[in-house]
């Protein structure tokens, strides 16, 4: 196996929403950047699908909104949930003070391909696929690079700054020994597809019933389904057999009852482990963590992608100039943590509250589920629906593009 060395101003581990957006913005600002992704493509089923109004605003600021919205997507103006027998509208995005007053549901691989295609137009951008980060390189207590394994070689990538954007199981943060606070989650998610009939008029929605939570996302030809289960219960569900599982899903989604037989084996059903955590320090000299690598998000509210992108925008805004001068100090990294930690704390607090007050009781309950008073109020008073819409759609401290664009044909 051959071994070689690469050098860049910035090296990013992971090309999820955080890593890809940061790589794009830095390359657009003329910074020499290498993004490393362990998979060969972005085609993984378990990637979240939501592009929120604040992310769409960022895409608009980059001048790419019309092009993005030409890709197939579902436009969701209101979030509905069925709780017990009652269907409620819990968030109404149509009054948000932004350009796009909706959530675009788009397969994340399309979104990442879109960002990668635009990033590749800058010659300072390099994306290495099938490049798995295995370790950090340190010199005199400073992180100076990453060790990488590809199918045919090993690499050492040296950079003035290393960014960990390698998600909630980040190897980089582990190797850097950054301390993690775990907050726990009462659930895991079973993720699978059911084909969607042409005349199916049902929309993306969540259903809460005794001991069960079920989410269906309209992906055009098929439903992307998420069945939320109490943490650690997958083995028990498997023991009860596939027929029993199909029966449960048929009850939760009567309009897709005929399609449950498409679930032929447990291989068609993926277990997604949910965790919520946060680093107490997001940096070391020469290293910054962003996105889930700094703070693993619960799927509650579907806001993790949005937060990851906001981190990337804030990091690019703060780092483009120091990276150009090749002088990134620990103080700059500390300031990025300070800026992004507040929105993260507030969002995780809300997610943990929903996990504790809504999800855990529904999953452990045996009595008929009824909407709690707060949700009934939100559903009954249209003005109140704007509050969850703002929290989900825009969030705390939205970021804006402040990095310059270096003309693509410039030297």
Ligand X SMILES: Cc1cc2nc3c(=O)[nH]c(=O)nc-3n(C[C@H](O)[C@H](O)[C@H](O)COP(=O)(O)OP(=O)(O)OC[C@H]3O[C@@H](n4cnc5c(N)ncnc54)[C@H](O)[C@@H]3O)c2cc1C
Which residues of the chain form contacts with ligand X (CB under 6 A)? Answer: 13-19, 36-39, 48-50, 132-133, 165-168, 171, 189, 272, 274, 291-293, 297, 299, 302-306, 308
What distance in Å separates the CA atoms of residue 406 and residue 124, rounded to the nearest whole number?
A: 10
In angstroms, what is the minimal distance from the CB of 148 to ligand X? 7
Nearer to ligand X by Cβ, of 30 and 127: the residue is 127
Residue 83 or residue 189: which is nearer to ligand X going by CB?
A: 189
Instruction: Rank residues 191 and 266 by Cβ distance to ligand X and give the closer one.
Output: 191
Whether residue 97 contacts residue 387, with contact meaning beta carbons closer than 8 Å, is answered with: no
Nearer to ligand X, 297 or 378 (CB): 297
CB of 306 to ligand X, least distance (A): 5
Q: Which residue, 53 or 167, has its beta carbon nearer to ligand X?
A: 167
* Cα separations in angstroms, 131 against 46, 123, 169, 400: 20, 20, 16, 30
CB of 289 to ligand X, least distance (A): 9
Q: Is 352 exposed, middle or buried (0-12, 13-18, 19+ CB in 10 A)?
A: middle
Query: Residue 210 CB, nearest distance to ligand X (Å)?
Result: 22
Q: Please measure the distance between the N-terminal and C-terminal CA atoms of the chain and give it in whole angstroms.
A: 35
Tell me the CA distances in angstroms from 176 to 35, 106, 360, 376, one per residue in order.
Answer: 19, 34, 34, 46
In 257-396, beta strands by DSSP E: 270-273, 277-279, 283-284, 287-289
Beta carbon nearer to ligand X, 137 or 384: 137
Task: Name beta bridge partners: 87.
Answer: 82
Distance CA 68, CA 102 (A): 14
Least separation in angstroms between residue 87's CB and ligand X is 21
- Least distance (Å) between residue 398 CB and ligand X: 14
Strand order in the sheet with 187-195: 86-92, 78-83, 205-209, 212-218, 222-230, 187-195, 270-273
Between 215 and 320, name the residue whose CB sits nearer to ligand X: 215
- Least distance (Å) from ligand X to the CB of residue 229? 11
> Among residues 118 and 168, whose Cβ is nearest to ligand X?
168
Nearest one of 188, 47, 164 to 111, comparing CA atoms: 47
Q: Residue 148 in contact with residue 155, Cβ under 8 Å? A: yes
**Residue 40, H or E segment:** none
Shortest distance, CB of residue 170 to ligand X, whole angstroms?
Answer: 7
Nearer of residues 317 and 351 to ligand X, judged by Cβ: 351
Rounded-to-integer distance, Cα 124 and Cα 110, Å: 23
Q: Minimum CB separation from ligand X for residue 296, in Å?
A: 7
Q: Find the length of the chain.
A: 411
- The smaller minimum CB distance to ligand X, of residues 105 and 245, is found at 105
Which backbone phi and psi does 55 adopt, to 5 degrees?
Answer: -70, -40
- Positive or negative: CA dihedral 38, 72, 59, 411: positive
Q: Give the nearest distance from C-beta 299 to ligand X in angstroms.
A: 3
> SS3 of 184, please?
coil
């Amino acid at each position: 196996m051959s071994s070689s060395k690469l050098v860049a101003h910035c090296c990013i581990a992971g090309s999820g929403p955080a890593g890809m957006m940061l790589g794009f913005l830095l390359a657009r600002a003329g910074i020499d950047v290498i993004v490393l992704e362990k998979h060969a493509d972005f085609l993984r089923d378990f990637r979240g699908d939501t592009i929120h109004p604040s992310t769409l605003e960022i895409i608009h600021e980059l001048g790419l909104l019309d092009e993005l919205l030409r890709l197939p997507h579902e436009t969701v103006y209101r979030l509905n949930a069925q709780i017990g027998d009652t269907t409620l509208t819990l968030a109404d995005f149509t009054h948000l003070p932004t350009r796009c007053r909706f959530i675009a549901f788009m397969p994340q691989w399309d979104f990442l391909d879109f960002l990668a295609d635009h990033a590749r137009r800058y010659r300072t951008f390099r994306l290495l696929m099938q490049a798995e980060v295995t370790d950090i390189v340190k010199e005199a207590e400073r992180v100076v690079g990453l060790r990488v394994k590809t199918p045919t070689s090993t690499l050492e990538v040296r950079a003035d700054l290393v960014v960990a954007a390698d998600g909630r199981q980040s190897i980089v943060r582990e190797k850097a020994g950054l301390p993690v606070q775990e907050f726990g989650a009462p659930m895991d998610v079973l993720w699978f597809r059911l084909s969607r009939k042409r005349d199916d008029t049902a929309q993306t929605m969540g259903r809460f019933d005794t001991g069960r939570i079920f989410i269906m996302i309209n992906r055009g030809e098929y439903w992307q389904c998420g069945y939320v289960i109490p943490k650690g219960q997958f083995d028990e569900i498997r023991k009860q057999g596939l027929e029993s599982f199909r029966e449960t899903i048929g009850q939760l989604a009567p309009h897709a009852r005929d399609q449950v037989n498409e679930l032929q084996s447990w291989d068609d059903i993926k277990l997604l482990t949910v965790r919520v955590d946060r680093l107490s320090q997001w940096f070391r000299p020469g290293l910054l963590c962003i996105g889930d690598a700094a703070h693993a998000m619960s799927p509650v509210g579907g806001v993790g992608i949005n937060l990851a992108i906001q981190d990337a925008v804030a990091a690019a805004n703060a780092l483009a100039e120091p990276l150009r001068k090749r002088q990134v100090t620990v103080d700059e990294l500390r300031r990025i943590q300070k800026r992004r930690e507040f929105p993260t704390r507030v969002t995780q607090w809300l997610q943990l509250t929903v996990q504790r007050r809504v999800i855990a009781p529904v999953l452990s309950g045996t009595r008929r589920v009824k909407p709690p008073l707060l949700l009934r109020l939100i559903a009954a008073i249209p003005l109140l629906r704007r509050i969850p819409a703002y929290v989900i759609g825009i969030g705390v401290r939205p970021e804006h593009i402040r990095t310059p664009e270096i003309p693509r044909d410039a030297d």
